[in-house]
Amino acid sequence: MPTALVTGASAGLGRALAAALVSRKWTVVGDGRDAAALSAAAGEIGFTAVPGDVADPAHRASLAEACPSLDLLVNNASSLGVSPLPPLGGYPLAELEKVYRVNVFAPLALTQLLLPALTAARGTIIDLSSDAAVEAYEGWGGYGSAKAALDQVTAVLGAENPELAVYAVDPGDLRTAMHQRAFPGEDISDRPLPASAVPAFLRLLDERPPSGRYRAADLLVPA
């Protein structure tokens, strides 16, 4: 039975991915900062909950301890940063540092810890990207630049580890709590639910294309 670690599994896309993997008979370990929400999701879906902040080195060590063998790492946990989204000219640098700590340094640090297990399994790494990593949207400079950095980290990891499948995936705009924080007071009910993007991730796992950056919208189109 393959094993996956999904960060940010208490809600949104992380929860939807965890549910899909469990339905495929995967053993899933999930983390999240909200211990109560994570426990509720784990109980409903059937995965192992390890609550904590992925930016905390001690928590990352606990995750590695929970995954002595690993076939899939999904670095889904992300931080939007300041809300409402500020322009870069006035972005508080201490807050921007926190965004990079969660969105860039934490995924790389967790990957470093789990790389031996993933290599032994010839496994897969999926890092969650965003269209804000490649498009210049006003107000998205903090989050977008961090995701752009993560894209490059992902690309180099793929080049350095040809035995692994290493993907950066842009899931598109989804109806999540984080997306709502980016648009406070606005109605985002027109965005699709997170589960709508899950088949794109499953296609990557099933077909194992070359390492690289992919858009869920493209993967949802039949080959």
At 26-82, the pLDDT tens digits run 999 999 999 999 999 999 999 999 999 999 999 999 999 999 999 999 999 999 888
Query: Is the pLDDT assigned to residue 171 strictly greater than 80?
Result: yes
Q: How far is Cα 45 from Cα 18, in angstroms, rounded to an integer?
A: 8
Q: What is the identity of the amino acid at 24?
A: R
213 DSSP 8-state letter:
E
pLDDT given for residue 208 in this prediction: 98
Please give the mean pLDDT across all residues of the chain.
Answer: 92
| Residue 172 confidence class, pLDDT cut points 50, 70, 90 | confident
| Residue 201 confidence class, pLDDT cut points 50, 70, 90 | very high
Query: Is the pLDDT assigned to residue 8 strictly greater than 80?
Result: yes
| Residue 141 confidence class, pLDDT cut points 50, 70, 90 | very high
Q: Which of 209, 91, 101 is nearest to 150 (CA)?
A: 101
| Residue 7 confidence class, pLDDT cut points 50, 70, 90 | very high
Q: Which of 196, 62, 204 is nearest to 48 (CA)?
A: 62
Question: Looking at residues 103-110, what average pLDDT do you find?
Answer: 98
Query: Is the pLDDT assigned to residue 168 strictly greater than 90?
Result: yes
pLDDT given for residue 119 in this prediction: 98
Between the two ends of the chain, the Cα-to-Cα distance in Å is 28
Q: How far is Cα 113 from Cα 143, in angstroms, rounded to an integer?
A: 24
Question: Looking at residues 107-118, what average pLDDT do you find?
Answer: 98
Q: How many residues are recorded in the chain?
A: 223
Q: Which residue has the higher pLDDT, 173 or 84?
A: 84
At 152-167, the pLDDT tens digits run 999 999 999 999 999 9
| Residue 221 confidence class, pLDDT cut points 50, 70, 90 | confident
